[in-house]
A and B are shown apart, each in its own frame.
Chain A
Amino acid sequence: MLAQLAAEFPGWYPEWNIPYWLMSILRVVGGLVAVLLPAGGIVYIFLFKMMSFMQSRLGPMEAGPYGSMQLLAEVGKWMQKEDLAPDNADVRIYKMAPLIVLLSTFLLVVVVPFGPQAYFTNFETGIFYALAVASISVLGILIAGWSSANKYSLLGGLRAGGQLIAYELPMVLATLGVVIQAGSMNLNRIVEVQNTGEIFGIGLIGNPFVITQFIGFLIFMIAVQAELTQSPFDMPIAESELVSGYMTEYSGFRFLIFFIAEFATAGVFGFIASVLFLGGWGVPFTWFGWEGISDVAWWMNFVGPLIMFTKMFALVGVIMWVRFSYPRFREDQLQTFAWKVLIPLALANTAATAILKVVF
Chain B
Amino acid sequence: MLESLLAQADMNGSVNVAINIAFGIIATVMIFAAFSVVTTKNVVHAALYLVVVLAGVAAQYILAAAEFVAVSQVMVYIGAVMVLFLFGIMLTRAQIGKEEGLNNNGWQLGIPVALLLFGLMAYVIVDTYEDTVIGERTPFATEGISDQVLAPFLVPFLAISFVLLAAAIGAIVLARKD
Offer 18 A-B interface pairs, CB within 8 angstroms, sorted by A. Answer: A93-B45, A124-B139, A124-B141, A128-B72, A128-B75, A129-B71, A132-B71, A132-B74, A132-B78, A134-B79, A135-B79, A136-B74, A139-B78, A142-B83, A147-B44, A158-B87, A165-B83, A165-B84
Please name all residues of chain B whose beta carbon is closer than 8 Å to the beta carbon of A161 when the two chains form the complex. 83, 86-87, 90
Chain B residue with minimal CB distance to A123?
B67
Asked if A135 meets B80 with Cβ closer than 8 Å, knowing A124-B139, A128-B75, A147-B96, the reply is yes
Asked if A125 meets B142 with Cβ closer than 8 Å, knowing A132-B74, A147-B96, A149-B96, the reply is yes
A125 to B68, CA, bound (A): 6
Contact B90 A145 (CB under 8 A): yes
Task: Report if A192 contacts B (CB, 8 A).
Answer: no
Contact B86 A143 (CB under 8 A): yes
Interface residues of A in 90-134 (CB under 8 A from B): 90, 93, 123-125, 128-129, 131-134
What is the CB-to-nearest-CB distance from B141 to chain A, in angstroms, rounded to a whole number?
Answer: 7
> Contacting A89 at CB < 8 Å: which of B71, B87, B96?
B96
Contact B44 A136 (CB under 8 A): no
Chain A residue with minimal CB distance to B44?
A146
> Contacting A124 at CB < 8 Å: which of B44, B67, B84, B97?
B67
Residues of B participating in the A interface, judged by any CB pair closer than 8 Å: 42, 44-45, 48, 51, 67-68, 71-72, 74-75, 78-80, 82-84, 86-87, 90-91, 94, 96-97, 139, 141-142
A352 to B44, CA, bound (A): 43
What is the CB-to-nearest-CB distance from B162 to chain A, in angstroms, rounded to a whole number?
Answer: 19
Contact A139 B90 (CB under 8 A): no
Interface residues of A in 153-181 (CB under 8 A from B): 154, 157-158, 161-162, 164-165, 168
0 or 1 for each of A69-90: is its CB under 8 Å from B? (1 = yes): 0000000000000000000111
Q: Number of A residues whose C-beta is below 8 Å from B?
A: 32
Chain A residue with minimal CB distance to B77?
A132
What is the CB-to-nearest-CB distance from A226 to chain B, in angstroms, rounded to a whole number?
Answer: 15
Chain B residue with minimal CB distance to A136?
B78
What is the CB-to-nearest-CB distance from B4 to chain A, in angstroms, rounded to a whole number?
Answer: 27
Please name all residues of chain A whose beta carbon is closer than 8 Å to the beta carbon of B96 when the two chains form the complex. 88-90, 146-147, 149
Contact A146 B71 (CB under 8 A): no
What is the CB-to-nearest-CB distance from A105 to chain B, in angstroms, rounded to a whole number?
Answer: 15
A157 to B86, CA, bound (A): 11
Task: Report if A293 contacts B (CB, 8 A).
Answer: no
Residues of A participating in the B interface, judged by any CB pair closer than 8 Å: 88-90, 93, 123-125, 128-129, 131-136, 138-139, 142-143, 145-147, 149, 154, 157-158, 161-162, 164-165, 168, 185
Q: Which one of B42, B79, B87, B139 has the greatest number of beta carbons of chain A within 10 Å? A: B79
A139 to B75, CA, bound (A): 12
Q: Contacts A125-B142, A135-B80 given; 13 further ones with Cβ under 8 A?
A: A93-B48, A124-B141, A124-B142, A125-B67, A132-B72, A132-B75, A133-B74, A136-B78, A142-B83, A161-B83, A164-B83, A165-B80, A185-B142
Please name all residues of chain B whose beta carbon is closer than 8 Å to the beta carbon of A158 when the two chains form the complex. 87, 90-91
Contact A135 B90 (CB under 8 A): no
Please name all residues of chain A whose beta carbon is closer than 8 Å to the beta carbon of B91 when the two chains form the complex. 158
Contact A138 B83 (CB under 8 A): yes
Contact B90 A132 (CB under 8 A): no
Asked if A142 meets B75 with Cβ closer than 8 Å, knowing A93-B48, A124-B67, the reply is no
Chain B residue with minimal CB distance to A88?
B96
Contact A135 B75 (CB under 8 A): yes
Chain B residue with minimal CB distance to A155?
B90
Contact A143 B48 (CB under 8 A): yes
What is the CB-to-nearest-CB distance from A74 to chain B, in angstroms, rounded to a whole number?
Answer: 32
Asked if A143 meets B71 with Cβ closer than 8 Å, knowing A154-B90, A161-B86, the reply is no
What is the CB-to-nearest-CB distance from B78 to chain A, in angstroms, rounded to a whole number?
Answer: 6
A327 to B36, CA, bound (A): 45
What is the CB-to-nearest-CB distance from B146 to chain A, in angstroms, rounded to a whole number?
Answer: 10
Please name all residues of chain B whose beta carbon is closer than 8 Å to the beta carbon of A129 when the two chains form the complex. 71, 74
Contact A136 B68 (CB under 8 A): no
A168 to B91, CA, bound (A): 20
A147 to B67, CA, bound (A): 33
What is the CB-to-nearest-CB distance from A139 to chain B, in angstroms, rounded to a whole number?
Answer: 6
What is the CB-to-nearest-CB distance from B147 to chain A, in angstroms, rounded to a whole number?
Answer: 13
What is the CB-to-nearest-CB distance from A335 to chain B, in angstroms, rounded to a whole number?
Answer: 14
Please name all residues of chain A whose beta carbon is closer than 8 Å to the beta carbon of B78 when the two chains form the complex. 132, 135-136, 139
Chain B residue with minimal CB distance to A138?
B83
